[in-house]
Amino acid sequence: EAGDLRPSAQLVESLAQALGVDDADQRYILEFALDTGRQFAPVARKRKLRRPHSLPAQLTPLIGRELDVAAVRSRLVDGARLVTLIGPPGVGKTRLALAVAESVLEQFEHGVFFVRLGPISDPDLVATTVAQSLGLQLNGQNPPVVQLRCFLENKHLLLVLDNLEHVVDSAPMLDDLLRRCPWLSMLVTSRQPLRVRGERQIPVHPLHLPAAIDATAALSANDALTYPAVELFADRAQTVLPSFAVTDSNAAAVAELCRRLDGLPLAIELVAARVKLMPPAELLAHLSGPWMLSVDGLRDVTARQKTLRGAIGWS
């Protein structure tokens, strides 16, 4: 506008928001529009570039692992190049690794890549599987590990190797990659360590849960929900039964369920998915017997995880 006909601040802000202008440019436009006597330069700012990655999106929140994420993240940020998360099946190693990987994404110039090793059992296929996860097109002229090494030797990236225990004999090959590729880092989930030089082993424990409760003792909902295991049960139960809540009347049963499941997140999630069929007290009664608990309808659970016993035996 010319002369003294200046737009109002409200009009400028409304137009900028409607056009999707970011906050820094909104300030510049507003100052320019309302002040005729000053010369303004656009606000200098650093645009945040999103690093490439292949991390699968998580549809549910990670519960009770804040300290674990911080501890593992600090290892990677401080320069550890091989960090192995070690724990029993169902303890949540993969979810923890994904959360850590997301938190350090901006630290790796060439990205963070998730590699599923659970489907394979031949250590000789690890190099090919990693290459495929990186989008590397292999040729038939050189061994896959040689092509992978050439690709990675100048890359500053993080590989998240999931379920390595199935192909733990590939550890020497991975160790060689780390030695020859100075900017490469690895975050591994496994039931056992790789036992190579420089490995930082971090145990992953079950979620904190209430101790055994005397039959005559009362447990309030507020007290129960201070335990991550109970909080996880409540959150996952609400995904299948939105009206579900931990109350003073069912808190003891929910807490005992989590205790019987040893605080293992996967087992808790599978049992919580059944609250749409029966209340916690009935679930607890079934867990006391040899009943096999299936998880019909969860498409992202593998065949080996379709029963509670399978979940405890396979992560």
Q: Does the structure show a pLDDT above 80 at 41? A: no
Q: Where are the alpha helices (DSSP H) in 225-295?
A: 228-240, 251-260, 265-272, 280-287
What number is the average pLDDT over the span 72-85? 97
CB contact at 8 A, 197 and 169: no
Per-residue model confidence as pLDDT tens digits over 206-261: 999 988 765 446 799 999 999 999 999 999 999 999 999 999 999 999 999 999 99
Query: Quick one: DSSP state of residue 200?
Result: E
Q: How far apart are CA 168 and CA 120, in angstroms?
A: 11
Tell me the per-residue pLDDT of 10-26, one tens digit each, with 9 for 90 and over. 666 666 665 555 555 55
The average confidence (pLDDT) of the chain is 84
Is the distance from CB of 196 to CB of 171 less than 8 angstroms? yes
Task: Report the amino acid identity of residue 264.
Answer: L
d(CA 66, CA 69): 5
Q: For 66-203, CATH number? A: 3.40.50.300
> What pLDDT was estimated at residue 168?
96
Q: Which is nearest to 95 in space by CA: 63, 67, 71, 119?
A: 63
To which residue do tokens 């199935």 refer?
Answer: 166
Within 13 Å of residue 46, how many CA atoms lie on the same side as its CB? 3
In the numeric block, the tokens 């192995």 are attached to: 84
User: What token pair was written down for 284?
Assistant: 């607890």
**Cβ atoms of residues 298 and 121 within 8 Å:** no
pLDDT at 33 over 70: no
pLDDT value for 52: 84
User: 31 pLDDT exceeds 60?
Assistant: no
Question: pLDDT tens across 175-197, in order?
Answer: 999 999 999 999 999 999 999 99
Calpha distance 227→304 (Å, rounded) = 28
Q: Is the pLDDT of residue 296 over 80?
A: no
pLDDT of residue 314: 42
164: pLDDT strictly greater than 80: yes
What's the Cα-to-Cα distance from 245 to each of 236, 270, 275, 308, rounded to whole Å? 11, 17, 11, 23
Give the pLDDT of residue 305: 52
Question: So what's the pLDDT on residue 248?
Answer: 95
**Mean pLDDT, residues 270-299:** 76
User: Any idea where the domains of the chain sit in the sequence?
Assistant: 1-47, 66-203, 221-313
pLDDT in tens, 102-119: 999 999 999 999 999 999
